[in-house]
Amino acid sequence: MNFVDEADIDVVAGHGGRGIVSFRRESKMPLGGPDGGTGGRGSDIVLEATYRTVTLMDHRYRRWYKAKNGEPGGPKNCTGKSAAPLIIPVPVGTIVANKGTGEILADLSTDGQRVVVAEGGLGGRGNASFKTSTRRAPTHAQPGEEGQELTLHLSLKLVADVGLLGFPNAGKSTFLRAATRSKAKVGAYPFTTKVPNLAVAQIGEHEFVLADIPGLVEGASEGAGLGDRFLKHVDRTRVLIHLVSLSPDAMEPIAAFKAINKELEAHSEFLAKRPQIVVLNKIDLLDDRYELDLWTEAFAEIGVSCAYTSGLTGEGVMEVLKQAWDTLKGDDEEDEGPDGWSPI
C-alpha cells in the first residue's frame, strides 16, 4: 500500500430541508389554520480519527464529499427528518486545516476523536411558524439554509512513542525488524525505506510503538531528500533512537551524529531537546571489537553516552529497547525495567 501523508479534499455539508405551506383540511374544519412543518437539518460533515486506516491514500483519489440534505417539512406541523452526519475516517495523527485561510481546525491525535468541519444548514420554517394574531393564514415558508462548503488540507503526522533516526543505510529498518515483527523492506543500499513504517515492540507486559523514518540527509530541514516531509513524523515521538552506522563505507560516526542533530534543531527546537538514545549500529561489520571501544570513548568525550547493536544478529537490541522503555516511563534506574522482551 502506498503511503500518502498529504491530501486536499472539498467538503459540502447538507442543505437544510425546506419548510412547507399547508393548511388543515379536516371534516367540519374546512378553514383550518396553517400546519406547514419545518424542514430537517442538513447533514454535518465529521472527520473521525481511527487506527483502521494509516494513510491518506483514500482522500488522494476521492477529493469531493457531499453530505445529504434535510427532508422538507410535512403537514400537521411535522418537522422534516434531519440527515445523519457524514463520517469521514482519517488516520490518527491527522491535522485538519482550512486550506483557504490556513486555520488549523483540529489535531486528531487520539483514536475515535471527532471534529465537525462543515455544519449542515438549518431547515426552513413552515408557514405554521409565521402565524400571528393578525396573520392567521400565512402563505409563505422558508427554504432551507445552505450547508457550509470549504476545502480542507489534511496532513498526517504519525503517532509513535519512539522514533528511529539516522542517515540512509544506517540500519533502521533492520533494527525495526529485529525489535518487532515488522516486515519493513531492508537492503544494502541507501533509501531502501521510502515511507515511514510503524511497528510495536513488547517489553514484558508493556508495549510501545516504533516509527522507522526514511533516512535523512544534510539539508533535510530545508526539504533536501524530502527531509522536511519525513521530519514531521517524529514531531509526536517522546523518545528518539539515533542509529549511527559503524560500517566502513558510512560517514564518520561523530560527524554523522552532529549532522542529524543539526537538522533536528533546524526543524524544531523542541524536537532537538527530545530524549535521545544514541546507538552505534552494525557492530557485526567491525574487524576488531577494539574499534567499538574507541568510538564509545570518542562519543564520551563530547558528552554522549552510547549503546551498541547489530540489527542483523540482534545483539544489543533488547538492551536498547529496555532503555527506550525506561526513558518513556521516566525511570532513571534502568535495571528495574521489565525482565522479559519479545517481538510481536
Q: In the block, which residue shows the cell 547489530?
A: 310
Do residues 171 and 277 both lie within one domain?
yes
Which of 156, 184, 203 corresponds to the end of one domain? 156
Report whether 14 contacts 83 (CB < 8 A): yes
Q: What is the pLDDT of residue 40?
A: 97
pLDDT at 266: 84
Burial annotation 197-212 (CB, 10 A radius, 16+ → b, else e): bbbbbbbeeeebbbbb
- Biggest CA pair distance of the chain: 107
Whole-number pLDDT of residue 1: 42
- According to the model, what pLDDT value does residue 216 have? 53
- Please give the backbone phi and psi of residue 282, each rounded to the nearest 5 degrees, phi first: 65, 40
Same domain, 123 and 228: no
The predicted structure's pLDDT at residue 222: 43
- Together in a domain, 174 and 241: yes
Over residues 111-134, the pLDDT tens digits come to 999 999 999 999 999 999 999 888
pTM score > 0.75 for this model?
no
Residue at a domain's end among 156, 182, 201: 156
Residues 6+ apart with CB under 8 A from 77: 35, 36, 37, 126, 128
Q: State how far Cα 290 lies from the chain centre.
A: 44
Q: How far apart are CA 12 and CA 121, in angstroms?
A: 10
Alpha carbons within 13 angstroms on the beta-carbon side of residue 109 total: 11
Q: Are residue 85 and residue 116 in the same domain, yes or no?
A: yes
DSSP bridge partners of 306: 278
Segments of the chain with pLDDT less than 70: 1-4, 28-31, 181-196, 214-230, 331-344
Q: What pLDDT score was predicted for residue 177? A: 85
> Could you tell me if residue 197 is inside a domain?
yes
Encode pLDDT of 48-68 as tens digits. Answer: 999 888 788 888 888 999 999
Handedness of CA 160, 256, 180, 184 (dihedral sign): positive
Q: How far apart are CA 128 and CA 120, in angstroms?
A: 23
Report the number of distinct structural domains present in the chain.
2
Q: Which CATH number characterizes residue 218's domain? A: 3.40.50.300
Cell numbers linked to 40 = 430537517
Q: What is the strand order of the sheet 114-118 is part of?
A: 86-91, 45-50, 114-118
In a domain, 272, yes or no: yes
Residues spanned by the domain of 325: 162-343
| Contact indicator for 67, 149 with CB cutoff of 8 Å | no
- The Cα-based distances of 280 to 30, 209, 248, 316, 334 in angstroms read 92, 21, 13, 10, 19
Same domain? 191 vs 279? yes
Any residues with CB less than 8 A from the CB of 67 and at least 6 apart, and which?
11, 12, 13, 14, 42, 43, 44, 45, 83, 85, 86, 118, 120, 147
Q: Does residue 177 sit in the same domain as residue 74? A: no
